Amino acid sequence: MPESWQEKLEERLRYYEDLGIRLFYLNRRVGITAKSGETTERPAEPTDGSPEIALPGPRAETSEAAANAQALRVEPVIVPSGPSLFESVEKVQGDTLLKIRDDIGDCTRCKLHKRRHKIVFGDGSAKAQLVFVGEGPGADEDAQGLPFVGRAGKLLTQMIEAMGLQRKDVYICNVVKCRPPENRAPEPDEVATCSPYLLRQIDVIQPRVIVCLGAVAAKTLLETNRGITQFRGQWLEWRGRKLMATYHPAYLLRNPNAKGEVWKDLQKVMAELGLELPRKKSS
Ligand code: SF4
């Protein structure tokens, strides 16, 4: 196998390994097939001369995910833990991401400003159909002013690409825009002060789907004290939009066994957005 093919294959397999998909077998008739998705017909030969690689059965799994998504549209009851954080947030006429960033300014509204280097506002498409919401910036994000650029961010990028998207196609932001010291979880007063900006960002973008990465993001938007494991992977409704909570990529770095669960969650999101796993071009 030429070196360039091998590199492509290794890179793609690393994506799936990072998502917890490790079992592949060689189907001599159709090539390499993921254990979780069988290909029943031999695809046409690729035009670019590269080897045909069928990875986790996109069509089969996507339709299965679609069925799961349908089944999970029964909304579980999320009991708000207190007065709504968002009730007092007024809709700003003609709001834009630029205006929100201007309003944040060189913010000192909560104590997180004291040790931050850069405000991490958010990144991606202002017209994204999919928004990822994390907890708060870490050290790399604080240094660069961009969300999810450290190790966890690299994994998130791989997850997004495995969905057949690029980072520029989605929007990525956090509940709090400044790094909590020592990567501690943001405190309730910090969340309460900063999250109205998140609400405005989502209102401006109007995504079809919001994915909360980790408990802090999920609990903040859903205003619940319930543990994330009680509703992770289920479709919920949030202010008229579809919301799914899944594990934070940083959690996945510590607990690689949970990657498969997250991949299942992302497949439900793909089904909802009408996405299919990318396939190699064939003639
Ligand atoms: S976390 Fe939010 S509210 Fe607090 S200082 Fe930073 S931008 Fe302002």
pLDDT one-digit tens code per residue, 78-91: 555 565 666 666 67
At residue 276, the pLDDT reads: 84
Residue nearest atom 5 of ligand 1, based on CA coordinates: 113
Asked if 212 and 218 touch (Cβ cutoff 8 Å), the reply is yes
Q: Which of 85, 115, 177 to mutate to test the pocket of ligand 1 (most atoms within 8 A of CB)?
A: 177
- Mean pLDDT is lowest, of 16-30, 128-142, 243-257, for 16-30
Average pLDDT over residues 43-63: 38
Per-residue pLDDT tens over the stretch 28-38:
443 333 444 33
- Name the token pair of 77: 């009851």
At residue 5, the pLDDT reads: 72
Q: Which of 193, 195, 200 to mutate to test the pocket of ligand 1 (most atoms within 8 A of CB)?
A: 193
Residue nearest atom 3 of ligand 1, based on CA coordinates: 194
CA proximity to 137, closest of 125, 123, 127: 123
At residue 257, the pLDDT reads: 95
**Mean pLDDT, the chain, integer:** 80
Q: Residue 233 pLDDT more than 70?
A: yes
Q: Specify the DSSP element, H or E, that contains 84.
A: none
Between 260 and 23, residue with greater pLDDT: 260
Q: 177 pairs with which residues across the strands?
A: none
Average pLDDT over residues 266-280: 84
Tokens 């969340």 sit at which residue? 191
Q: Residue 16 pLDDT more than 80?
A: no
Q: Residue 187 pLDDT more than 60?
A: yes
DSSP state of 16: H
Average pLDDT over residues 98-110: 98
Q: Residue 169 pLDDT more than 70?
A: yes
Q: Specify the DSSP element, H or E, that contains 4.
A: helix 3-18
Under the banding of pLDDT at 50, 70 and 90, the label for residue 39 is very low
Instruction: Give how far the C-alpha of residue 150 lies from the chain's centroid of Cα atoms, to the nearest Å.
Output: 15
